[in-house]
């Protein structure tokens, strides 16, 4: 026969305040004011509360919302829940610390993340397999052409050019520039006697 051990979840004042939707300072004030009605256990220098304390905090929220005074709220809590001594209803099992709770949440988040990643990976592999099958089908249905060898081209014969003696050209006479030609003409005009 296997026995199932219940894990006692302990909550900090901050966590309780998030559950009952009140500021943490209000939750801590109520925890000190109504401590005899709240099951709690000292954890280091802070108190932690079991899940059953949340119902007490919710009742306190309801009663203060109706405008009751502290003594009236204490009377109502006494009728509904009775009183506790510190740690009276809390078992002395080692409760998970805040770090353990955080680590557990991170583990669950990471597990969900990796599960999602693996499903995306599987989808990607399936798509790649389909693409590979299509490519194989295309390659197999395509006609395979035999390789053709390129025609051999006979090498061209080298033609030897004979060197032909070139006679050097005579340098061309330089033509006189325009100003020199005019000068000659003027000079000849004046050098000849007038007739």
pLDDT tens track for 142-164:
655 556 666 666 667 777 666 66
Comparing 127 with 152, which gets the higher pLDDT? 127
pTM, 2 dp? 0.42
Q: What is the pLDDT of residues 81-111, one digit of tens each?
A: 777 765 454 444 455 556 777 777 888 888 8
Taken in order 175, 177, 183, 185, the sign of the CA dihedral is positive
8: nearest Cα among 101, 80, 70, 83: 101
Listed residue (63, 83, 82, 65) closest to 73, CA to CA: 63
Q: How confident is the model at residue 126 (pLDDT cuts 50, 70, 90)?
A: very high
Cβ atoms 95, 116 nearer than 8 A = no
């Amino acid at each position: 026969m296997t026995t199932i051990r219940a894990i006692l979840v302990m909550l900090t004042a901050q966590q309780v305040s998030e559950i009952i939707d009140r500021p943490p300072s209000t939750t801590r004030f109520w925890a000190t004011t109504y401590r005899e009605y709240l099951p709690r256990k000292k954890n280091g220098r802070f108190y932690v509360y079991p899940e059953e304390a949340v119902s007490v905090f919710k009742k306190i929220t309801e009663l203060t919302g109706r405008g009751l005074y502290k003594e009236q709220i204490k009377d109502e809590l006494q009728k509904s829940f009775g009183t506790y001594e510190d740690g009276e209803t809390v078992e002395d099992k080692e409760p998970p610390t805040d770090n353990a709770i955080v680590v557990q949440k991170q583990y669950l988040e990471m597990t969900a993340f990796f599960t999602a990643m693996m499903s995306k990976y599987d989808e990607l592999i399936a798509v790649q397999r389909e693409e590979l099958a299509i490519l194989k089908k295309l390659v197999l249905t395509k006609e395979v052409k035999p390789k053709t060898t390129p025609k051999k081209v006979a090498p061209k014969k080298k033609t030897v050019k004979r060197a032909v003696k070139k006679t050097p050209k005579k340098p061309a006479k330089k033509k006189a520039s325009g100003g020199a030609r005019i000068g000659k003409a003027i000079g000849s005009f004046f050098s000849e006697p007038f007739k």
